[in-house]
Amino acid sequence: MTFRRHLRVSLPILLCLASLLFLGAIGAARAEAVGTVHPSPRIAGGGEFALLIKPDGSLWSWGYNLHGQLGVGDLTLRPVAWRVGTTNDWATVACGDYHSLAIKTDGTLWAWGLNASDELGLGDTTDRTSPVQVGTTGGWATVACGDAYSMAIKTDGSLWAWGANASGQLGLGDLVTRASPTRVGTANDWAAVSCGAQFTLALKTNGSLWAWGNNSRGQLGLGDTVTRRSPVAVGSDTDWTTVGCGDADAHALKGNGSLWGWGYNDFGQLGLGDTVTRKVPTRVGQDANWASFARGDDHLVAIKTDGSLWACGDDTYGQLDQGDTTARSLPTRMGSATDWVSAACADDTTMALKQDGSLWTSGHNSCGALSLADFVNRSTATFAFFIGDTTAPAVASLASPTHPDPATWYSNSNPTFTWSAADPSGVGGYRYLFDQTAGTQVPIAYPHFETTISYTGKADGIWYLHIRALDRGGNWGPTSTLQVRIDTKAPVTTQSGADNAWHTSPVTVKFKASDSLSGVALTEYQLDGGPWTPGTTLTVSAVGAHTVAYRSHDNAGNVETAKTCQVNIGSYFTVT
């Protein structure tokens, strides 16, 4: 049986206590800290989505959101980082297939997303689209998510589990689902925990490694394929420092910097140079300078102490950053940079952080899991955003090709607008409104990605395009506004003096025009089919019946349909 589920990670007690440190410092400390797990406690990947705690303690998410796992209050995916709530007190995060867990700085535990198997620990099976507190007390130190179950460690070192349990992955000695956190045994020396598809690995404070749950691929590292329902020690070594699970395989670091892998290996994700399953921990090469690693569905990403980044395993979507989609069975260097400090994986995506705080992503992006403001896969690491960037992008070059001068009236009722923006973290999209209110502020909502828009058949009057930009790090800029003036109606002209009667003396005709929007630009008349003559007064003195046409133009270019009137002048004679 091949598992195609999603990596879930746990978080270390020791690092949780310092979880408000900058991400780079956390990544650097991993190799030495007993109980560390990957990815970083401030970034985690799930089923084609990700969660990030920025240096200011704010929580952000992006990617797939069918069950509300982004925590933003709806079910709409986000292809760029989106803020979860407004607080700045988040300390650590973990992602499951379709659910999320997080701990705040006060030690309270929060959950959201899919809850069909009680994985949220809220005592019911109702999905949540925003964070909801689990229980009423604090004391939580670290969390981990599996496919549809969850694990957590409290500050007293106790281990807790809830959710699906068909393979004994909760470690409670049975196969019964739990709807709320349930203690695993009585020990108080648990340091770290990591969840795979349906199996769990954990470290104790003495550096020993423990495993339980599904073992069909030898992922428990116990030398067999027998499922375990309670924690069982993996060998007798006590120098394990880091542990992380894939779908049905695992990796771990020892204190000497060596990297070990076991379990399912059809894509070469164990990094052993082949695709042979291993049932016990097997050393990955002879290097002893591994500092940290992250696990995806079936791929591994690891960082060495020199800051170089390496990957192996499945590369179907380019997640190994090699510029192709070819699987690798040995760790292969990702680029030439030596300033990588932390890495994380979602299903088939890779996220890695550099010392300057820039986040780089590659792999599967059909749901926006790369936070690149599009849905295009990447086979090379692509800059996403700076995690510490708080600069709000401003809209630049906002213009209307059809209505170029905001002070001028135009007869075109189909305005077109173009715009652009720039930001250190890259532009993530725009949001705009078109109305007749000068001071409208554009609300935050799912972004548009186009940089031009056309409207048709707009009513006469003054209109405003209000627009604001979003960067890929989730920062929204201020509202910018461009005014356009639309006047499609011609002026109305009336005349006085021409009454269709016969007169024996010259007749003066006066023309009066009005236009309520752009104003009258020109009034003109035509006598008996002659040339049009500008003016508002015409005196007719020649004997005969005369036709006078008249019309006006407005400042928008509208021309009134000509009207006519009749002026009749009789013969002049004197009676004696």
pTM: 0.87
Mean pLDDT of the region 521-536: 98
First to last CA, the chain: 128
For residue 473, pLDDT over 70 is answered with yes
For residue 429, pLDDT over 90 is answered with yes
- Residue 188 identity (one-letter amino acid): N
Per-residue pLDDT tens digits for 543-555: 999 999 999 999 9
Lowest-confidence segment of 11-25, 458-472, 513-527 by average pLDDT:
11-25
| Residue 34 pLDDT | 28
For residue 575, pLDDT over 80 is answered with no
Per-residue pLDDT tens digits for 59-74: 999 999 999 999 999 9
Lowest-confidence segment of 21-35, 244-258, 364-378, 521-535 by average pLDDT:
21-35
Residue where the block lists tokens 């206590």: 17
For residue 267, pLDDT over 60 is answered with yes
Per-residue pLDDT tens digits for 188-236: 999 999 999 999 999 999 999 999 999 999 999 999 999 999 999 999 9
| Residue 335 pLDDT | 96
Q: Are the beta carbons of 385 and 371 closer than 8 angstroms?
A: yes
Per-residue pLDDT tens digits for 120-149: 999 999 999 999 999 999 999 999 999 999
Beta strand segments in 284-415, E: 290-295, 299-304, 309-313, 328-333, 340-345, 349-354, 358-363, 378-386, 394-399, 409-410
Per-residue pLDDT tens digits for 388-399: 999 899 998 999
Q: Residue 78 to residues 62, 86, 95, 349, 364: CA-CA distances in angstroms?
A: 5, 17, 16, 15, 14
Position with higher pLDDT, 42 vs 113:
113
Q: Residue 351 to residues 84, 193, 371, 456: CA-CA distances in angstroms?
A: 19, 21, 10, 43
Per-residue pLDDT tens digits for 1-55: 333 333 333 333 333 333 323 333 323 222 222 233 333 448 999 999 999 999 9
| Residue 571 pLDDT | 74
- Residue 223 identity (one-letter amino acid): G
